[in-house]
Structure 1
Amino acid sequence: MVRPIMRDIFFLRQKAQPATKEDKQIVQDLLDTLKANEAGCVGMAANMIGVNKRIIAVNMGFINVAMLNPVIVKKSRAYETEEGCLSLDGVRKTTRYENIEVEFQDISFHKQRQKYSGWTAQIIQHEIDHCDGIII
């Protein structure tokens, strides 16, 4: 189900609660909402659809991938950039890392550990910031 985009800064600044197996519908709603907004959005966190859970969805080219309980465990090569957000107006400066390594659970709750770089790494960092209540 496509959900409306949350724009309440107070809600968005809350740290997300861990995702559980009972959150599968939220995962699907997040993927549906990302797909519906793909013209202006490449990633989303569950709090962007009004659900305070540690779930993100990221466009990885030809497919949108959900990550549950993602945590960045390594990062290298910091750089400055500007980003926009569907939940906010305008763009803001932020620091990101060229290379990251992320531990997460996939949609079947299998543990994963993957390395990402470039644009995909930047998207993941933005969405994990959402889970941590950090707004650019």
Structure 2
Amino acid sequence: MQRTIVTSVPFLSEPSAAADPNDPGDAAIAADLVDTLAANRARCVGMAANMIGKHKRIIVFVDEDLGTIGVMFNPIITQADGAYDTAEGCLSLEGERRTPRFERIEVDYLTRKGRPRHAAFTGFTAQIIQHEIDHCDGVLI
């Protein structure tokens, strides 16, 4: 189900709790994130659960290489290379802001089925994932 986008800076600045893909409530949050991202696809490439009012470590993102929407539970960046500065916008905030990012990242996470995964991402997809993990940590650009 498509959800309303949260724009409250105090709410978005709070870190999110771990999520359990086997919990029906957390699985529903992931499904709502996918629906909300799809509905906002013309102006958005990634979302974190706090953007729809839920303080859970769940993110969704457009995988630029595959053209699909990826879902991660409890993502953690384990490796990062190729630092650069960029300007980013956010569906929850107005305007763009400068922020540091990495060209290549490796991420540990759980799939929607609860399976542990380790994957590498590069380019714009890596940038999207970093932005959404920042949301999980309560970090706004």
Q: Is TM-score (shorter-chain normalized) higher than 0.5? A: yes
3-state SS of 1:90 partner: strand
Unpaired stretches in structure 2, ≥5 consecutive residues: none
AA in 2 matched with 1:45? A
**1:39-78 alignment runs, 5 A limit:** 39-61=42-64, 62-78=67-83
1:28 is displaced (CA, Å) by: 0.2
In the alignment, residue 130 of structure 1 is paired with which amino acid?
H
The residue that corresponds to 1:36 in the other structure is 39
SS, match of residue 124 in structure 1: helix
Partner amino acid for 2:114?
F
Q: Secondary structure at the match of 1:89?
A: strand
Q: Tell me the amino acid that sits aligned with residue 28 of structure 1.
A: A
Specify the SS of the correspondent of 1:122: helix
Provide the C-alpha distance between the structure 2 equivalents of 1:121 and 1:59, rounded to a whole number of angstroms.
10
The Cα RMSD (Å) is 0.5
Q: TM-score, normalized by length of structure 2?
A: 0.95
Cα separation, 1, equivalents of 2:101 and 2:129: 10
Could you list the per-position Cα deviations for residues 29-50 of structure 1 after superposition, in whole angstroms to 9, with x for gaps in the alignment?
A: 0000000000000000000000
User: In the TM superposition, what whole-angstrom CA distance separates every residue of 1:85-115 from its partner, at most 9, and x where no partner exists?
Assistant: 0000000000000010000001001000000
Q: Does 2:14 align with 1:9?
A: no
Extract unaligned runs of 5+ from structure 1.
Answer: none
Report how many aligned residue pairs link the two structures.
136
Deviation string 1:4-27 (CA, Å, 9 cap, x unpaired) is: 000010110000000012210000
Q: For 1:103, what is the secondary structure of its paired residue? A: strand
**Please, which of 111, 115, 128 is the counterpart of residue 110 of structure 1?**
115
TM-score, structure 1 length as denominator? 0.99
Is the deviation greater in 56-65 or in 111-120? 56-65
Where do residues 91-110 of structure 1 align in structure 2 (5 Å cutoff)? 91-110=96-115
Between the aligned partners of 1:34 and 1:112, the Cα distance in structure 2 is: 22
